[in-house]
Amino acid sequence: MDDLWQALHALARAEKDWLVATRRDLHRHPETAWAEYRTASLAAATLEEAGFALRMGGDALNAQARPRRLDPEQVQREQARARAQGADPRWLARMPDGLTGLWGDLILDDETADESGSPRGPLIAFRFDMDANAGLNECRDADHAPAAQGFASCRDDAMHACGHDGHVALGLGLARVLAALRPELARRFRGRIRLIFQPAEEEGEGAPGMVAAGAVDGVSRLFGIHLSMQAGKSGALVCGTTHFLATTNFEVFFDGRAAHAGLAPEEGRNALLAACTACTALLGIARHGEGATRINVGEMRGGEAPNAIPAQAWFRGETRGESSDINGFMMAEVRRMVQGAARMHGCTARLLCQSYCPGASSHPELAALVERVARDMGGFDPILPRAEFWASEDCCWFMNKVEEDGGQAAYLQLGADRPSGHHTARFTFDENVLPRGVELLARLALVSLARRDA
Instruction: Please write down the HEC assignment for all residues of 123-149.
Output: EEEEEEECCCEECCCCCCCCCCHHHHC
- Tens-digit pLDDT string for the chain (454 aa): 789 999 999 999 999 999 999 999 999 999 999 999 999 999 999 999 999 999 999 999 999 999 888 899 999 999 999 999 999 999 999 999 999 999 999 999 755 455 555 557 899 999 999 999 999 999 999 999 999 999 999 999 999 999 999 999 999 999 999 999 999 999 999 999 999 999 999 989 999 999 999 999 999 999 999 999 999 999 999 999 999 999 999 999 999 999 999 999 999 999 999 999 999 999 999 989 999 999 999 999 999 899 999 999 999 999 999 999 999 999 999 999 999 999 999 999 999 998 999 999 999 999 999 999 999 999 999 999 999 999 999 999 999 999 999 999 999 999 999 999 999 999 999 999 999 999 999 999 999 999 754 4
- Distance from C-alpha of 68 to C-alpha of 255, rounded to nearest angstrom: 23
Judge contact between 59 and 209, C-beta under 8 A. no
Judge contact between 246 and 204, C-beta under 8 A. no
The predicted pLDDT at position 114 comes to: 54
> Can you give the pTM of this predicted structure?
0.93
- Binding-site positions for Mn(2+) read 162, 164, 202, 226, 423
Judge contact between 299 and 134, C-beta under 8 A. no
The predicted pLDDT at position 119 comes to: 54
Cis peptide, bond prior to residue 382, ω within 30 of zero: yes
- Binding-site positions read 162, 164, 202, 226, 423
- Distance from C-alpha of 197 to C-alpha of 202, rounded to nearest angstrom: 14
- Chain-centroid distance of CA 200 in Å reads 6
The predicted pLDDT at position 117 comes to: 52
> What are the backbone angles phi and psi of residue 402, rounded to the nearest 5°?
-60, -45
- Distance from C-alpha of 156 to C-alpha of 83, rounded to nearest angstrom: 19
The predicted pLDDT at position 109 comes to: 73
The predicted pLDDT at position 454 comes to: 43
Q: Which residues contact 302 (CB under 8 A, 6 or more apart)?
A: 254, 271, 272, 275, 310, 312, 313, 314
What sign results for the dihedral spanned by CA atoms 395, 210, 409, 14? negative
Domains of the chain: 2-244+359-450 (3.40.630.10), 248-357 (3.30.70.360)
Kindly list the distances between the CA atom of residue 281 and the CA atoms of 100, 191, 292, 311, in Å, as whole numbers in the listed order. 38, 54, 19, 20
